[in-house]
Amino acid sequence: MLKTTPFHSRTAPLVQGAAWRRWAGYSVASAYELVHDREYAAVRHAAALFDVSPLYKYQIRGRDAVRLLDRMVTRDVTKASVGQVLYTTWCDAHGKVIDDGTVSRLDDQTFRLTAAEPNLRWLGMNSFGLDVAIEDVSEAIGALALQGPLSRAILNRAADREVDSLKYFRVAPNVIAGVPVEISRTGYTGDLGYEIWVPAAQAVPVWDRVVTIGADYGITAAGIWALDLARIEAGLVMLDVDYHSSRRAMIEDQKSSPFELSLGWTVSLAKGPFNGKRALAAERAATPAWRLVGIEVDWDALETLYAAVHLPPSLPSIAWRTSVPIYRGGEQIGYASSGGWSPLLKKYLALAHLRAPHYEPGTGVEIEVTVEHQRRPAAARVATLPFFDPARRKS
Amino acid sequence: MTRPRVGTRRAWDVIVIGGGHNGLVNAAYLSRAGKRVLVLERRPVLGGAAVSEQIYPGFTFSVFSYVVSLLRPEIIRDLDLPRHGLHILPLESTVTPLPDGDYLAGWADPDQTRREIYRHSPRDADTTIEFGRLMYHMAMAVKPILSMIPPDPTSLAPSDLAALVRLGGHFRSLGAERFHALYKLMTMSSADYLDAWFEFEPLKATKSASGIIGTFLGPRSPGSAYVLLHHYMGEIDGAFRAWGFAKGGTGAISNAIADAARAFGTTIRTEAPVARVLVKDGRATGVALESGEEIKAPVVVSGLDPRRTFLELVDPSHLPGDLVDRIRRLKFRGSSGKVNLALAELPNFTCMPGPGPHLRGAFSMSPSFDYLEQAFDDAKYGDFSRRPYMDIVIPSMIDPGMAPPGKHVMSIFVQYAPYHLNGGWTDPKREAFGDAVVDTLAQHAPNLRSSILHRQVLTPVDIERITGLSEGNIFAGELALQQLFFLRPAASWSRYRTPIRGYYQCGAGTHPGGGIMGASGRLAAMAILAD
């Protein structure tokens, strides 16, 4: 049996179409309603509530907690103040990405790391000789992501202390329904949003409180299908979909550096030694061989391909996660790793890995589409990520 | 169109009269092509009949038009409206309360809808699938026409002939079966058409309702099947549909278009009512505002309806007599009213008690053909319907921003409310009309009356007074067959031009017509740029 999250007693009755999926050994909802349009829309116009408890979470405590994390991840953790959250990658010695996640500084000597994959062994290997205690709190802590323009209004009423003063990528302790929680201004949607970190045993009252208050604001429990569309619009990568952990890669070509994932901004070469620093310093000096970019498919071109077989364009309403070739001048120059129709932007979008020099924004490319069983090239354009970036995300 | 002469600096290339959504679309496209465009709007708010206003503090009403289904996808793309704030939210269900306390519902999920219809009629549950497929093909058959400047079927000009040949080829490609179905749709009443498909009366009546919206027809009037199709077209774009509720109300659509137009360089002036178009030697030279101010431009575009465009903005003596006669005889006959409510609490429907997903969809008061036809009978003889057809949505359930937390707004589209009411519309009659609406609805949601914080009742006369739409016709001229395509608004003048050189029309009174579609504004811009 798969594990269930601390919110399962609340989420399970909401799943109308038995649309469950696996995530890190847990079962979570792909969608709650039979049609997931509304769950997606809630992210962009009201507030969507995601159960993100399956994230791997580690608590790192002790005098050398900063040193451990700073030598492990690519961001400069020494500069993180208490209450700050860093999004970061971490690499192997060759500068290839192992995983990505967040580092939250909860107090002077206490941090929480979130990750897509298990990292206990890697943390242990990096902590040799350091004065730290590493605890896997993945099961002890439940997590909710409340995302959308009205998320702030809901939390201001649902939590004991207002969240107006909580800045982007900051975390602060709070209380919801009498339960001590941490609320961080973070998420995976590129919108205004918060994540609530709650002791697993007291998770249900927190859910109930947020949902009750949220009712007046159109709060909607939302599943992974909605999240996937939102994160593509936000240009956020997903491990095992858009890249592979260097630990799991079977061949060198399956590995990526932060620069190749367009995550060069998370690499601080100014700080002290860290895993992969030398390789990353060398790579920064050169032009990255690959880059992760956005792709916007030309709608008229797509419509023409479908019209040739007397059909209107049809696209799946669920984002895809397969490798799709990208061409330029008849030659394959890369591949898209996830994509979908954006109901908000009314555009067909994809995240793609393109080889130099084809990744400059505005470059005309072709993406393979399958129209009535025939593979066809559709005109598309390289776009800057994120596709959607509302001012409210940071304001 | 004429280019500015070398050495002279003209302020404006184009003046667009009316900041309705078609006028704004027209301006955006012209600005995109590099023209200097000025839009003049009479009211303080932009959008014409697509406006959001706080009639009661804290509560935003989509005062007139309240859902969006027909907005052309190419306009959304060309003007990049999502970047300018257009956000269409799903409106997923329709519930028809029935006299016996039961209901008929249509949901977003096809299996759920099928099971619901099966409950009433197993046969209709099957038929729905086939019917949906046919209507889909019908809408696909008509779709290219929506994006086409109408050719003149009597003309021998090469461009007209080429367009007619293309059109002929298009219809031939439909095949006999679909062509026959299309012919029936163009000529039959929606009741006859639906009778041939379905047996469950409330299902037929609810489907027929979109065939009477905005027209002075009952479900048994020939021609109503076409209006049905016109509304169906909004639903054919599948996952790419633009069908739903605009966040912020329909005014948000107008504002998004206006922002796009401004981004292309359009200047927009509000509270700038135009008195008349200046005409010299058979050509438009600018406009005169009611304030007396005169603004010059070689091209003037009217976004107003044909009656105002041809009979009020210009002196009809500039126009051929037969055109003046045709425009005078155009059918407007506004037949719809609107009631907007600010509510302290959600309505509790006796057929589906308590909160639930049904409150995020539409309610249709359409239990039977007889009910709808009797509502029409009242109007036919000059009265408003005592028991009207209503299409009801609760926008605050879809977009919580429309009302304060926990409070709600309700939009009630009502038919029939004839423009030409016996004895004329008066304040007491307007309130009596509002009472008839609330009474009818309160039979199904008894807590409604006590939860009303504010009531706004709009008759066709109010619609005319506020938006300027003649006789309050929401389509700027009825969608009657004799007023469509190359006859909209008049033969020979269906291609956005007028007999006055430099004077154009871009409103919904031209092809392809009403709804928040924007197609008229776009096609007019193309015609102007081609000249």
Question: Is it true that domain A276-383 has CATH number 3.40.50.10600?
Answer: no
Cross-strand pairs, B155: none
Question: Is it true that domain A57-136 has CATH number 3.30.1360.120?
Answer: no
Distance in angstroms (rounded) separating the CA atoms of residues B67 and B214: 14
Which one is predicted more confidently, B222 or A265? A265
Domain A8-55+139-222, CATH class in plain words: alpha beta
Distance from CA of B405 to the nearest CA of A (A): 5
* Res. B5: pLDDT tops 60: no
Are the beta carbons of B77 and A313 separated by less than 8 Å?
Answer: no
Phi-psi region of A206 (alpha: psi -120 to 50; beta: other; left: phi over 0): alpha
In a mutational test of the A interface, the residue from B77, B111, B136, B240 whose CB has the highest number of chain A CBs within 10 Å is B240
* Res. B524: pLDDT tops 60: yes
Residues of B in contact with A35 (CB under 8 A): 90, 92, 108-109
Instruction: Quote the percentage of chain B above a pLDDT of 70.
Output: 96
How is B175-197 classified by DSSP, letter by letter? -HHHHHHHHHHHHSBHHHHHHTT
Tokens for A316, please give them.
Answer: 């799946």
Place of tokens 């298990």: A118
How is B76-113 classified by DSSP, letter by letter? HHHTTGGGGT--EEP---EEEE-TTS-EEEE-SSHHHH
Are the beta carbons of B237 and A312 separated by less than 8 Å?
Answer: yes
Average pLDDT across chain B, whole number: 91
Are the beta carbons of A344 and B87 separated by less than 8 Å?
Answer: yes
pLDDT for the residue B257: 98
Cross-strand pairs, B39: B16, B268
- Contact status, residue A356 vs residue A336, Cβ threshold 8 Å: no
Are the beta carbons of A45 and B238 separated by less than 8 Å?
Answer: no
Distance from CA of B91 to the nearest CA of A (A): 9
Place of tokens 């995240």: A351
Residues of A in contact with B76 (CB under 8 A): 346
Chain B residue with minimum CA distance to A315: B239
Chain A residue with minimum CA distance to B401: A217
Distance from CA of A327 to the nearest CA of B (A): 24
Chain A residue with minimum CA distance to B82: A345
Tokens for A280, please give them.
Answer: 């990353």
Rounded to 10 deg, the angle between the B224-232 and B122-146 helix axes is 80
Distance in angstroms (rounded) separating the CA atoms of residues A132 and A129: 9
Element (H, E) at A350: strand A347-355
Chain A residue with minimum CA distance to B408: A216
Phi-psi region of B434 (alpha: psi -120 to 50; beta: other; left: phi over 0): alpha
Alpha carbon A208 to its chain centroid, in Å, reads 25
Distance from CA of A156 to the nearest CA of B (A): 13
CB atoms within 10 A of CB B218: 25
Chain A residue with minimum CA distance to B397: A218
Place of tokens 């029936």: B184
Distance from CA of A190 to the nearest CA of B (A): 15
Distance from CA of A304 to the nearest CA of B (A): 13
| Number of alpha carbons in the 13 Å side-chain half-sphere of residue B496 | 30
Are the beta carbons of A41 and B239 separated by less than 8 Å?
Answer: no
Are the beta carbons of B240 and A315 separated by less than 8 Å?
Answer: yes
* Res. B133: pLDDT tops 90: no
Provide the sign of the torsion angle of the four alpha carbons B425, B427, B431, B437, taken in this order.
positive
| Number of alpha carbons in the 13 Å side-chain half-sphere of residue B360 | 20
Question: In Å, how far are A283, B195, B300, B303 from B469, measured between CA atoms?
Answer: 65, 34, 19, 11
Place of tokens 């009201």: A46
Bridge-based pairing of strands B503-505 and B299-302 is parallel
- Contact status, residue B400 vs residue A150, Cβ threshold 8 Å: yes
Tokens for A286, please give them.
Answer: 């050169």
pLDDT digits (tens, 9 = 90+) for B136-151: 888 878 877 877 888 8
The arithmetic mean of pLDDT across residues A230-237, rounded, is 98
Residues of chain A contacting B, Cβ within 8 Å: 17, 33-35, 37-38, 41, 44-46, 150, 153, 216-218, 299, 310, 312-317, 341, 343-347
* Res. B215: pLDDT tops 80: yes
Chain B residue with minimum CA distance to A39: B90
Sheet holding B283-289, edge to edge: B274-280, B283-289, B294-296
Nearest by CB to B400, from A150, A312, A317: name it.
A150
In chain B, the domains with their CATH numbers are 14-47+72-87+248-331+475-530 (3.50.50.60), 128-199+210-236 (no CATH)
| Number of alpha carbons in the 13 Å side-chain half-sphere of residue A119 | 33
Provide the sign of the torsion angle of the four alpha carbons B349, B351, B352, B357, taken in this order.
negative
* Domain range annotation of chain A: 8-55+139-222, 57-136, 276-383
pLDDT for the residue B9: 59
Those residues with Cβ within 8 angstroms of residue B366's Cβ, 6 or more apart along the chain or in another chain: B96, B202, B205, B206, B208, B209, B372, B389
Average pLDDT across chain A, whole number: 97
Those residues with Cβ within 8 angstroms of residue B56's Cβ, 6 or more apart along the chain or in another chain: B342, B453, B454, B456
Least confident of A248-262, B7-21, B86-100: B7-21
CB atoms within 10 A of CB B229: 21
A51: three-class secondary structure by DSSP: strand
Q: What is the DSSP letter of A270?
A: S
Provide the pLDDT confidence category of residue A15 given band limits of 50, 70 and 90: very high
Are the beta carbons of B77 and A299 separated by less than 8 Å?
Answer: yes
Distance from CA of B195 to the nearest CA of A (A): 29
Are the beta carbons of B238 and A314 separated by less than 8 Å?
Answer: yes
pLDDT digits (tens, 9 = 90+) for A346-366: 999 999 999 999 999 999 999
Chain A residue with minimum CA distance to B72: A346
Among B115, B493, B192, residue whose Cα is nearest residue B320: B493
* Res. B3: pLDDT tops 50: no
Element (H, E) at B137: helix B122-146
The arithmetic mean of pLDDT across residues B248-276, rounded, is 97
In a mutational test of the A interface, the residue from B89, B107, B136, B402 whose CB has the highest number of chain A CBs within 10 Å is B89
Tokens for B421, please give them.
Answer: 């009411």
pLDDT for the residue A349: 97
Residues of A in contact with B114 (CB under 8 A): none
Question: Burial code of A313-333, b = ≥16 C-beta within 10 A, e = fewer?
Answer: bebebbbbeeebebbbeeeeb
Provide the pLDDT confidence category of residue B40 given band limits of 50, 70 and 90: very high
* Res. B231: pLDDT tops 80: no
pLDDT digits (tens, 9 = 90+) for B401-410: 999 999 999 9
pLDDT for the residue B211: 82
Interface A:B, Cβ pairs < 8 A = 72
Tokens for B428, please give them.
Answer: 């007491």
Residues of chain B contacting A, Cβ within 8 Å: 73, 76-77, 81-83, 87-90, 92, 107-109, 111-112, 140, 173, 236-240, 242, 247, 357, 360, 397-401, 405-406
* Res. B240: pLDDT tops 60: no
Distance from CA of B387 to the nearest CA of A (A): 33
The arithmetic mean of pLDDT across residues B355-364, rounded, is 94
In a mutational test of the B interface, the residue from A154, A298, A345 whose CB has the highest number of chain B CBs within 10 Å is A345
Are the beta carbons of A35 and B400 separated by less than 8 Å?
Answer: no
The arithmetic mean of pLDDT across residues B351-373, rounded, is 96
The arithmetic mean of pLDDT across residues B201-215, rounded, is 91
Cross-strand pairs, A193: A147
Distance in angstroms (rounded) separating the CA atoms of residues B17 and B273: 8
Question: In Å, how far are A18, A98, A103, A239, A284 from A277, measured between CA atoms?
Answer: 46, 14, 19, 21, 10
Distance in angstroms (rounded) separating the CA atoms of residues B181 and B131: 11
Instruction: Quote the percentage of chain B above a pLDDT of 90.
Output: 74
Residues of B in contact with A339 (CB under 8 A): none
Provide the pLDDT confidence category of residue B235 given band limits of 50, 70 and 90: low
pLDDT for the residue B162: 84
Tokens for B219, please give them.
Answer: 């479900």
Residues of A in contact with B77 (CB under 8 A): 299, 346-347
pLDDT digits (tens, 9 = 90+) for B148-165: 888 887 877 887 888 888
Nearest by CB to A346, from B82, B109, B357: name it.
B82
Which one is predicted more confidently, A29 or A312? A29
Nearest by CB to B400, from A34, A38, A46: name it.
A46
* Res. A66: pLDDT tops 60: yes
- Contact status, residue A163 vs residue A174, Cβ threshold 8 Å: yes
